[in-house]
A and B are shown apart, each in its own frame.
Chain A
Amino acid sequence: MDSSNGALDIVITNVVSTFTTLCPLNLRTIALKGFNVIHRRGAGRVQMKMRKHNVTASIWSSGKIMCAGATSEDESKRGARRVARSLQKLGFNVRFSAFRIVNVLAVCYMPFAVHLIDFTKNNFPNASYEPELHPAATYRITNFKATVQVFATGSITIIAPNVKNVVKGAEKVYPLLFQCKKSLRK
C-alpha cells in the first residue's frame, strides 16, 4: 500500500467489516445447503468461506454478517457482496445494508530495532509495556483512533478503523520510534 518515509511498506493483512441483511436467516438451511460453511452451534453462527477473495463470513441468525480476512477495503466490500449474493441464491430475501468497515490491521517493518523501555518512558501515558503479559509495547493514539503495537525487532502492527488512519498512525509513530532506535551491529 502506501509507503511512508521513503522505503517503508505498510502491508494490510486483515480488513474486518460488517453488514446486515435486513431479514432473519435460517442458519440450518445455510449450513445444509451451502457449500463451504461450518455451523458453529456453540457460538450460534455459521461460518462461510469465500474462495475468490479469501473472505470468511460469520453469519448470525439475526441477519448480521461479519466478514474478515480481506486484504483491502474494496476487497472486503466485494467479498461481503458475494456472501450476500450467495445467501440470496439460497432463497433468503437478502438486502445489503449498513456496510461498515470495522477494523484494518496492517504490519510494517522498521529497518531498526526499538528499545521498548525507553519508548515507553518517553511516551507515557500513551504507551504501555508489560513484558509479563505481551512482548510488545502498545501505543494508543487518541486524537484519531489507532493502536500501534511495537515489537522489539522493530516491526509494528497498526490497528485502526480505516486505511487512512492506519497510514496516519504509522507516520505519527515513526519519529517516536526513531528516537528510541537501537543501533545494530549488523
Chain B
Amino acid sequence: MSPRVCPSCGSSDVDVDQARGDAVCMGCGTVLEDNIIVSEVQFVESGGGGSSAVGQFVSSESENRIPAFGESHIAGIGRASRAQTLQKARLHINTLGHQLKMNQHCLDTAFNFYRMALSKHLTNGRKCGHVIAACLYLVCRTEGTPHMLLDLSDLLQVNVYVLGKTFLVLARELCINAPAIDPCLYIPRFAQLLEFGEKNHDVAMTAMRLVQRMKRDWMHTGRRPSGLCGAALLVAARMHDFCRTVKEIVSVVKVCESTLRKRLNEFENTPTSELTIEEFMRVDLDQECDPPCYTDGLKKKKIKQLEVELKKKMEDVEDEIHDYEDEIDAELESVRPKLRGVYAAYTKQEDVDVKDDVLSTSSKVSDEGDEEAEEELQAVAKHFGKELGDITLEALLKLEKKRTEEEEEEEEEEEEGGVPRRKGPTLESILGRMPTASTLGLSETISNCIGHEKENDGAADSGELDLSGIDDSEIELYLLDDREIRVKTALWMAENSDYLKEQREKEVKIAKEKELGIYKEKKPRGPSRKRAPIRASTADEAIGKMLEQKKISSKINYDVLKDLNIKPGASPARAVESPKKEPSAAKLTGRNRHPARAPLSLSTPLSTLGKRLQPFITGQPNKKLAVEQVGSSHPLPVPAGDPAIAVLVESGPVVYDEAADEEEEEEEDPCMSAMEMMGSNDYGCDGEYED
C-alpha cells in the first residue's frame, strides 16, 4: 500500500488498524477512515451450527467471467463452461482408464493431452468420446503400455478406423511423435491371457526371441503387430509342450485364423525355421530375409510371365479352332436352308436382346418380364437345339468372355469329339460373336471412332458442349428404343417393386392425414395403438396397469408408489382417465416402431420381451416431466410408451441410461385440465409430437 498522506497535516505517518478498521493520522490525530473494508476471510455461522466462509470460489481458469454483482446467481455455482468440460473429460478419462487398468500417471498425462487438444480446438466436430479415446491411446503409445487401439474400440463400440483417424489427427496437431509399435510389447500381455502357469516367463521369452527374429526377417513391416505375436506365441507354446489351439490364440490376440496361418507360412519360408529348437535358442542366423510381400510380388511376376506364354500358345490353337468353326458353320447352314430366312429375322431381334441382356446391368434373364423377348429366345433356342434355360445371362456372358484358356481347350476337345457336339461350340461362337460382330455395322463405327477421334483441348467453358471428337452414332447406340425401354422398365419395376410399394403407401397415408387435418410435415407416423381400457377393482391394480402403460421416470420410486394406499375417490378418477388415454395412447414415433403388445403382467420376466425391446422397456425416455404428475396425482396424460414392468423399473434407468437418453425427449404439455383431456381424443398425439 502506498503511504497515505493525511490531508489535514500532511504527515505520512498513518496508522491503519485492521482489527478496528481505522486509519488514523499519527501527526494530528485525524481519523482518516472508519470501517475499512478488509480483505480477510470472514466466517458466518450457518443453520446447523457450523461455520462457513463467506464468498464464492472463482476458478483461476474462469478467464474473463468475473461474476458481477447482479449476475452471481445466474451461473449457479459460478463455474465456467470450460472448467465443466474439463471436469467431464477428466471423469471419462478416469473411467476408461480404470477399465483399461492404466495407472494414474498415464491418466494425468492423458488429461493434459486433452487440455492441449481443447485449446487447439481439435474437439470441434468430433465426438468427445473419440477424442478422449485418442488421448488415452496416445498416452499408451508414448508410455509403451500394451494396449491396442482395438481394445479401446471394443470398449467404446466404435469402428477402429474412426478412432484411428482421430488419433492420427491428434498426434499430428499436437506434434507428438508416437513411437512405432513393437510387437514385443504385447507378448507378456498375451502370454498372461493364455495361462501358461509357471512357465509363463519362459514361453514369453521364447516368443520374444521369435518375434525379434521375425523382425529381422522383415515380416513385421506393414502388418498388425498382434498377428505376429499370435504366431510367435503359438510356436513358443508348442515348443514348450503346451498345446494351444489356433482358436484359443485367435480369441486372445484378435486376429483371424487365416492371418495366423499366413504368418506361420511366411515364417516357414525363412531359413530360421529349419533350425531345431535348441539351435534356435542358441544360435542367431546372420542373414536377413526379404520382406514376404516382396517375395510374393516376385512370385506373382513369374506367374504372370508364365500366363503370357501360355496365352500365346492358346492363341495359336485358337486360330486353328476358328478355321474349324468356320467350316462347320458353312456346313450347318447348308444343311438347314429353311432356317436361314427365319434365322435372319430371329437373329436380328436376338442380337438386340442379347445386347440388352449383356449390356444392361439391371436385368436377370430369369426375371424377364417381357414375354415377347422370352418367346423369341425360346424360338431361337429351339432351333438351335438348346434349352432356354441354357441360354442364361451367365452363359451368354461367359460366352462373351469365352476366350479363356480352359474353354478353348474344351472346345478343342469337343471339336475332336464329333459333329453333334459341335453344335455347342458353334452356338457359342455365334452368340459370342454377335455383340462384337459387324452384323450391326458396329465395326465400321468403331474404326471410325478409333481412327478419327480428334483431341479437343480447352473446350469452351461457356457451357456449350463441344461436340468435336464425339461420335454421335456410337452414342446413339447407347440409347434404347421403345421396345427396349419397355423391357427395361418392366425389369426395373420388378426389381424395385418393394420400394415403390412403400412409396405409394406413404403417399396414400400422407393424403389421408392431410384430409384429417392432422398431417404434420417431416415426421413419419407409426401405426396408432389401441389399448384395452384399464379395468381395475382396486387402486393398486389400477396403478399397476397404468404404470405398465405409461413411460417410466427415473425420479420416482415405484415400489413406494405401489404401496401407496390411494383414496377410493382418486381411483375412479384414474379409471376414468385411463380409458381416455387409450386413443391418445402409445403412438410411437417412427423411430421406435413396435408391434402392439398386450399389456404385460407385472410378473412377466423381462427376458421374454426379447433383447431389442429391453432398452425401451426399462430405460424410459420421457424423463423430464413424465410420471411426476402421477406422484402429484394430477390427471395429466402422458404419452404412453411400451408396457413396463414396475418391478424392474428401478434397475432400468441405471442400466439403460444411454439408450434412453438417445431417444427423443418429448416435452410435456403444461398442465391440462381434466376437461380438455377428457374432451379431445387427439390430445395424446399432439402431446407426443410436440418437441
Contacts and interface: CB of A to CB of B under 8 A. Distances in A.
Q: Say whether A associates with B.
A: yes
Interface of A: 22, 31-39, 41, 52, 74, 77-78, 81-82, 84-86, 88-90, 94-99, 113, 115-117, 120-121, 124-125, 128-133, 135-136, 151-154, 182, 184-186
25 contacts: A22-B463, A32-B480, A34-B478, A34-B480, A35-B479, A38-B361, A41-B499, A78-B470, A81-B465, A85-B470, A89-B475, A95-B465, A113-B291, A116-B221, A116-B222, A131-B225, A132-B148, A132-B164, A132-B224, A132-B226, A152-B221, A153-B293, A154-B294, A185-B287, A185-B289
Contact of A36 (B220, B226, B361): B361
A149 to B, nearest CB: 11
Contacts of A99: 459, 461
Nearest to A97: B463
Interface of B: 148-150, 160-161, 164, 167-168, 171-172, 175, 177, 180-181, 218, 220-226, 287-291, 293-294, 297-298, 359-362, 449, 453, 455-457, 459, 461-467, 469-470, 472, 474-480, 485, 488-489, 492, 496, 499
B288 A185 contact: yes
A97 B461 contact: yes
Contact of B479 (A90, A132, A153): A90
- By DSSP majority rule, is chain B's interface helix, strand, loop, or mixed? loop
B225 A128 contact: no
Given A52-B474, A78-B469, A133-B160, A128 B479 contact: no
Contact of A34 (B149, B459, B479): B479
B223 A131 contact: yes
Contacts of A31: 492
Nearest to A112: B294
Contact of A81 (B150, B294, B362, B470): B470
Contacts of B474: 52
Nearest to B475: A86
A152 B218 contact: yes
Nearest to A109: B297
Contacts of B499: 41
Given A125-B172, A128-B168, A129-B180, A96 B492 contact: no
A96 B466 CA distance: 8
Nearest to A119: B221
A85 B467 contact: yes
A56 to B, nearest CB: 11
A33 B479 contact: yes
B631 to A, nearest CB: 47
A181 to B, nearest CB: 12
Contacts of A22: 463
Given A33-B488, A113-B294, 20 more contacts: A22-B463, A32-B489, A33-B479, A34-B479, A34-B480, A41-B496, A77-B459, A85-B472, A89-B472, A89-B478, A96-B466, A97-B463, A115-B221, A116-B221, A117-B221, A125-B177, A131-B223, A133-B149, A153-B294, A185-B290
A84 B469 CA distance: 13
3 closest A-B pairs by beta carbon, nearest first, are A135-B222, A95-B463, A152-B221
A38 B463 contact: no
Given A78-B469, A81-B470, A125-B172, A86 B479 contact: yes
Given A34-B480, A115-B221, A124 B294 contact: no
Nearest to A78: B469
B181 A131 contact: yes
B478 A35 contact: yes
Contacts of A86: 475, 478-479
A133 B164 contact: yes
A132 B137 CA distance: 12
Contact of B222 (A52, A88, A152): A152
A35 B221 contact: no
B231 to A, nearest CB: 15
B464 A95 contact: yes
A88 B465 contact: yes
B293 A152 contact: yes
A74 to B, nearest CB: 6
Contacts of A115: 221
Contacts of B291: 113, 152-153, 182
Contacts of A121: 177, 180
A43 to B, nearest CB: 13
A132 B141 CA distance: 12
A33 B480 contact: yes
B464 to A, nearest CB: 7
A186 B177 contact: no
Nearest to A124: B177
Contacts of A113: 218, 290-291, 294
B459 A81 contact: yes
Contacts of A136: 222
A169 B231 CA distance: 38
Nearest to B293: A153
